[in-house]
């Protein structure tokens, strides 16, 4: 490509960062390197790096959290489009959508999960317990989402995973009030969910997921 036809440097660096996200090297829910680290790694100037990160924040792929850093929200523009649409919906609609997806994912994951999937679910279940003990609502939401996302990943269905990733921000938002209590009222059900998937009991896995989410919908009262 002729030099004058090359995209601006900021666009090139943004593509480089986007590749890190799409490849999973910067995983969904994870924090990306600091600005100083990105400057050193990419070889670009600080302003260029800032511009590239800003473009991905604007696209909805990354999210800045004051005092904490910048985190990956999703891995593709498809997911971003889905997330933006669902963000305009109600808490009830968001919970009902999550119930439909999570229950189906739990059933399929129980049938298809690998030994590696089962091991990861146990690790993430322990991380969820630790997050609740820590008391930080953001960490609780992140740990809870990571566990549910691993259930989806265990289905082996890449399309389902991509759609689910596009909804993660919405799912975290509709559950915001549920991660602020002093105790984890859903700990036992999460234990049962992981056990059902590990045991490859599809009916029990789906029923446990419904037991986790349906009460939140019922609390909203009649439509």
Q: What is the pLDDT of residues 111-155, one digit of tens each?
A: 999 999 999 999 999 999 999 988 888 888 889 989 999 999 999
Angle separating helix axes 77-86 and 158-174, nearest 10 degrees:
40
pLDDT for the residue 1 = 43
pLDDT for the residue 222 = 85
Which region holds residue 67: left if phi is over 0, alpha if psi is between -120 and 50, else beta? left
pLDDT for the residue 48 = 95
Q: What stretches of 61-201 show up as alpha helix (H) in DSSP?
A: 77-86, 91-112, 115-134, 137-153, 158-174, 187-198
Residue among 216, 217, 192, 218 at smallest CA distance from 205: 192
Q: Are 69 and 32 spatial neighbours (Cβ–Cβ below 8 Å)?
A: yes
Tokens of 171: 């799912």
Say what the pTM is: 0.66
pLDDT for the residue 166 = 73
Identify the helix (H) or strand (E) that includes residue 71. Answer: strand 69-72
Q: Are 125 and 195 spatial neighbours (Cβ–Cβ below 8 Å)?
A: no
| Low-confidence spans in the chain with pLDDT less than 50 | 1-3
Q: Are 217 and 130 spatial neighbours (Cβ–Cβ below 8 Å)?
A: no
Structural domains of the chain sorted by starting position, each given as residue range(s) with its CATH number in brackets: 3-72 (1.10.10.10), 77-218 (1.20.120.530)
pLDDT for the residue 187 = 92
pLDDT for the residue 89 = 72
pLDDT for the residue 34 = 95
Residue among 28, 30, 34 at smallest CA distance from 76: 28
């Amino acid at each position: 490509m002729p030099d004058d036809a090359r995209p601006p440097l900021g666009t090139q660096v943004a593509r480089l960062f986007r590749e890190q996200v799409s490849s999973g090297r910067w995983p969904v829910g994870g924090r990306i390197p600091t600005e100083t680290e990105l400057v050193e790694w990419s070889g670009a100037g600080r302003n260029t790096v800032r511009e590239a990160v800003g473009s991905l924040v604007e696209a909805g792929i990354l999210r800045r959290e004051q005092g904490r850093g910048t985190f990956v929200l999703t891995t593709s523009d498809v997911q971003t489009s889905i997330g933006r649409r669902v963000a305009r919906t109600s808490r009830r609609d968001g919970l009902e959508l999550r119930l439909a997806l999570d229950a189906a994912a739990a059933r399929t994951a129980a049938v298809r999960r690998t030994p590696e999937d089962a091991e990861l679910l146990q690790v993430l279940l322990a991380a969820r317990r630790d997050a609740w003990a820590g008391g930080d609502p953001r960490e609780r939401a992140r740990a809870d989402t990571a566990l549910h996302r691993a259930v989806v990943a265990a289905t082996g269905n890449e399309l389902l995973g991509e759609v689910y990733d596009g909804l993660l921000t919405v799912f975290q938002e509709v559950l915001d009030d549920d991660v602020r209590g002093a105790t984890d009222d859903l700990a036992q059900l999460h234990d049962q969910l992981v056990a059902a998937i590990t045991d490859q009991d599809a009916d029990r896995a789906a029923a446990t997921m419904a037991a986790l989410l349906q009460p939140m919908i019922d609390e909203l009262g009649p439509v």
